[in-house]
Structures are given as C-alpha cells and as structure tokens.
Structure 1
Amino acid sequence: MIWAQARCGAIGRGGEMPWHLPEDLAHFKRETLGARVVMGRRTWESLPGRFRPLPGRENVVVTRDTGFDAPGAVVANSLEAALNEVRDRGAERAWIMGGGQLYRAAMPLADELSVTRIELDVPDADTFAPEIGAEWALADPGAPAVSRTGLEYRFERWLRA
C-alpha cells in the first residue's frame, strides 16, 4: 500500500490532497510505475483527467456501482474481486493507492507500506490513513527532507512483522 499523510493521519480534504508536494508525486511514480494500482472510485475521480488512467500502470478501480465506467481501467465490484483480477493477470505485486475506505479494507492483506510523512496540520481533513499497528515493523524510517514548496517530509517503508 502507498500513501502520503499529514499529521494526525490526514490524507484528504474534499476529495483532494490538502498539500502540494512534488517530491511525493515523483516518489509515487517511481514506486508504482510498471505495476498494478488498485484504487477506489473516488480516488479515480480525483485524478486529473489527463492522468486517467495513470500511465505506465494497470489501473483497477473498486466500486460497488455495477454500471461504473472507468475508460482505460479495469473495474471491480469489491477489493477481493480487484485482487483476483490482479492475480489472474499474473501480477505478483499491486499497490493499493486509496482512498481511506480501501486502505482500511486492504490493511490486513498488505505486506508492505510506503508512507510519506508530511509535517503539516490539516485541521479540516475528512479522510485519514489507516492505523499502523504492532503487526508492522519500520524497515526504513527515511531521511528528513524539505520540499521545494517548503514542506518537511520523509519516506518511510514498513513491513509486516
């Protein structure tokens, strides 16, 4: 699973990321390029049209809406169906990329987390990252960095203990 979060676990506000962190976007691209990405319908809809589907990745959109159309992506009606679709296509690896509801559902199934920690308060956030519990070990705490936008951040990697 891969996500960026501000303090208090905030990952979204009003269907958007409440920050601009180009270094995280580049990190996301490096991590996911060539892989399958699984996302919820709202995450799909939050992507700018020119980036749908995300290029260089097989996109899988999870939605309960059986009539939903996501041009260029595979549509699955559950997380289980999405993961079966990924397996059926021979993929050994897929990235869960949001949103909050899908992260919580996928957390028990994941074996790796790539988390960007952003030093930012988002008091009006409405979407939050899942809790990283004791079943996870911090494999790489990342080095503190400062974005060209002034935000402080670091890239962490967690593995299931």
Structure 2
Amino acid sequence: MCKCVRRFYEDENKLVFFDDENYVIYRPENWKNIYKVNLLRIDNEIPATKLTKNQSIRIMDEIRNYSFNYKGAKINGMVGLAITFNNMKNEDVDWLIDIEEEDHNIHDEIENLELENPKNFIELNTDKFLVYKIKENYHGNVLSIPANEFTRKNCTIELSKIKLSTI
C-alpha cells in the first residue's frame, strides 16, 4: 500500500522546529524553472529547510551516480527514472541525456532557495508547509511519511501524476 494512502497519526498540536532532524519540510510551490527529465519536475515541493535541501541534493546525486545501459547508451539513474515515470520510453536516448544535463541546473535553483530560520517552528497541522516524518523501517530503509492530512493529500495527488504519466 502506498505510504501516502495510510494516515500518519501525530499529535495535531505538536510544534516542529525547522532544524528537527526527524522531519523534512517543503513549501507547496512551483519550481522557478521547468525541468523536462528531472523527476522533481512533477512535484510542487520546494525544500524549506537546510536539512531538506541537503537531503534533496544528496538523493538527486545518488540517483545521477547510478548508471546502466539502455538501448546501447550509458544513461544515469535520473534519465532511467524519466523513461519509466515521465513516459519518455519513445524519446531519443541522446536527447534525453542532453536534456537531463540541462535539467541538472535544478541544483543551482535548490542551492539558491530562501530557507526558513532553523530556530523557528511551525505547528504540525499547518497547511502552509508539506511536512514528512522521517522513519526507519525494519530493513533499515528511511521513509518519508506524511505527518499531517494536508501533506498526505498533496502526496496522493503528486503520486497520481506519476501513475498517469506511465499509462
């Protein structure tokens, strides 16, 4: 079952500091630029904290560092995800590689984001930020679970875009 479909019960009155390592926090906004291949182009989650920004960059770098052969070309993980989830199976592989290189400018956009003051806090039940609780499962995998109803609904909508793009 999708992690976004299940409700994550948390104390509604809880305050979350922007430097709390147990949460990743995003602003529900659009990216300044349009990214065709980068998987992040489908979501409206802009990192709001230094922790979230650093995690986003680390995950993107890990995905990009993974490489494999596809139709005789060596592609990175970001291109592979675009082929799978952005319905780009029929696109020219060399074009996808070039576009992914251009899309990697998202790094610059992330690096230059205005971040929240780590000493400030929000109420967990906010509808101004998307808040995910970081949990480790029994296998040692780290999961981001929606920490409030607003985030759960947003996550469900964004995941439905991925599903629709694979039809």
User: Which one has a bigger Cα radius of gyration?
Assistant: 2
TM-score normalised by the chain length of structure 2: 0.25
TM-score by length of 1: 0.26
Counting strand residues as a fraction of each chain, which structure ranks higher? Answer: 1
Per residue, is there more helix in 1 or in 2? 2
Structure possessing the higher relative contact order (Cα contacts under 8 Å, 6 or more residues apart): 2
